[in-house]
């Protein structure tokens, strides 16, 4: 008789980037993540995504933890609590990121690119390309055999070579079926930067995998990034988590809340005497309005 596999425990994460003070938009996405983890009887971890040291400040990290706690977030593992998958501070996870880079290199999934993001600004744009970065031109890929495998990534931009023409599909827990075409909706993307900083797509996939995250909850602005991350999971033979992309909060003018919208930072709202309950009620009202208009 075979024993049934134990049910896989839900593991979710909050992954804030400390480049400024947290605002209501972040809180809403994180709240969704917390509610989903609780509803599943699972665990929630906090990972500080400070990989871009030039943009992230220590003072923002401390403020962020304080704001999250004030708002009512409770996590099971984190930089302040520790846990079984250290470190919970992304800039201290470089060995995981380097190992992932190495595996991608060994599988020939990535290549060093002499072209910078600046060059890309002047590249011809695909007619359907949206506001994001221009598609990396396929003719800028180095010819096979024109570069050798280095020991370290530093000094070059490294890009993931996407399978042109292939559709990447996944079912999102909120947005439903998604489909993006490689080479058309997105091109070869950076996994490691010339200045030695690993890129978001690589670190987030490496860390979510290493920390055994079973569902990623984040804003719907990252749906396309999920297609890129799926290519990394597939290249390395990793099982991807489930995906749940939440709605983005907009201000009265319909603009997305950004960190620079200081008036809506949790700090300012708290200083103005708002309580977390009032703020949550506020976004419930916003959602109702959005559905009835």
- Which residues of the chain form contacts with ligand GLU (CB under 6 A)? 15-17, 49, 204, 218, 222
Question: Which residue, 204 or 232, has its beta carbon nearer to ligand GLU?
Answer: 204
Nearer to ligand GLU, 204 or 257 (CB): 204
Give the chain's count of helices (H) and strands (E): 8, 9
Closer of 114 and 171 to ligand GLU (Cβ): 171
Contact call for residues 65 and 59 (beta carbons, < 8 A): no
DSSP-derived letter for residue 193 is: -
Please state the closest distance from residue 51 (CB atom) to ligand GLU, in A: 9
Residue 219 or residue 276: which is nearer to ligand GLU going by CB? 219
- Shortest distance in whole angstroms from residue 155 CB to ligand GLU: 25
Find residue 110's DSSP bridge partners.
Answer: 160
Q: How far is the CB of 223 from ligand GLU (least distance, A)?
A: 11
Residue 200 CB, nearest approach to ligand GLU (Å): 7
Provide the minimum distance between the beta carbon of 19 and ligand GLU in the complex, in angstroms, as a whole number: 8
Residues 6 or more apart in contact with residue 38 via CB below 8 angstroms: 44
**7 CB-near residues (< 8 Å, 6+ apart):** none
Smallest gap from Cβ 218 to ligand GLU, in A, equals 3
Q: Which is nearer to ligand GLU, 129 or 222 (CB)?
A: 222
> Tokens representing 134?
């221009």
Closest distance to ligand GLU from the beta carbon of 3 (Å): 35
Nearer to ligand GLU, 199 or 269 (CB): 199
CB 215 within 8 A of CB 242: yes
Q: How far apart are CA 208 and CA 11, in angstroms?
A: 10
Contact 220, 248 (CB under 8 A): yes
Secondary structure (DSSP) of 3-68:
PPPPPPPPEEEE----SS--BHHHHHHHHHHHHHHHHTT-EEEE-B----TTT--HHHHHHHHHHH
Q: What are phi and psi of 87, to 5 degrees?
A: -90, 155
Q: Nearest to residue 149, comparing CAs of 177, 175, 110?
A: 110
Quick one: 92 or 106, whose CB is closer to ligand GLU? 92
């Amino acid at each position: 008789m075979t024993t049934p596999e134990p049910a896989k425990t839900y593991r979710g994460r909050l992954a804030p980037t400390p480049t400024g003070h947290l605002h209501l938009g972040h809180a809403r996405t994180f709240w969704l993540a917390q509610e989903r983890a609780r509803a599943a009887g699972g665990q929630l971890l906090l990972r500080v995504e400070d990989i871009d040291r030039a943009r992230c400040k220590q003072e923002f990290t401390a403020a962020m933890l304080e704001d999250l706690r004030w708002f009512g977030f409770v996590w099971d593992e984190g930089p302040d609590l520790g846990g079984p998958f250290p470190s919970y501070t992304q800039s201290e996870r470089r060995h995981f990121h380097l190992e992932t880079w190495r595996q991608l290199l060994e599988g020939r999934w990535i290549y060093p690119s002499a072209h910078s993001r600046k060059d890309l600004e002047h590249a011809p744009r695909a007619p359907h390309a949206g506001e994001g970065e221009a598609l990396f031109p396929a003719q800028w890929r180095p010819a096979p055999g024109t570069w050798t495998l280095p020991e370290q990534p530093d000094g070059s931009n490294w890009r993931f070579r996407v399978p042109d023409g292939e559709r990447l599909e996944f079912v999102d827990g909120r947005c439903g079926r998604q489909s993006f075409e490689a080479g058309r909706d997105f091109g070869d993307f950076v996994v490691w930067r010339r200045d030695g900083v690993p890129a978001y797509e690589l670190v987030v996939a490496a860390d979510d995998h290493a920390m055994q995250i079973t569902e990623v909850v984040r804003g719907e602005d990252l749906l396309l990034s999920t297609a890129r991350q799926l290519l990394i999971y597939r290249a390395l033979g990793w099982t991807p988590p489930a995906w749940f992309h939440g709605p983005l909060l907009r201000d009265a003018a319909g603009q997305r809340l950004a960190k620079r919208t200081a008036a809506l930072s949790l700090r300012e709202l708290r200083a103005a005497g708002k309580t977390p309950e009032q703020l949550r009620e506020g976004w419930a009202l916003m959602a109702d309005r959005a559905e009835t208009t």
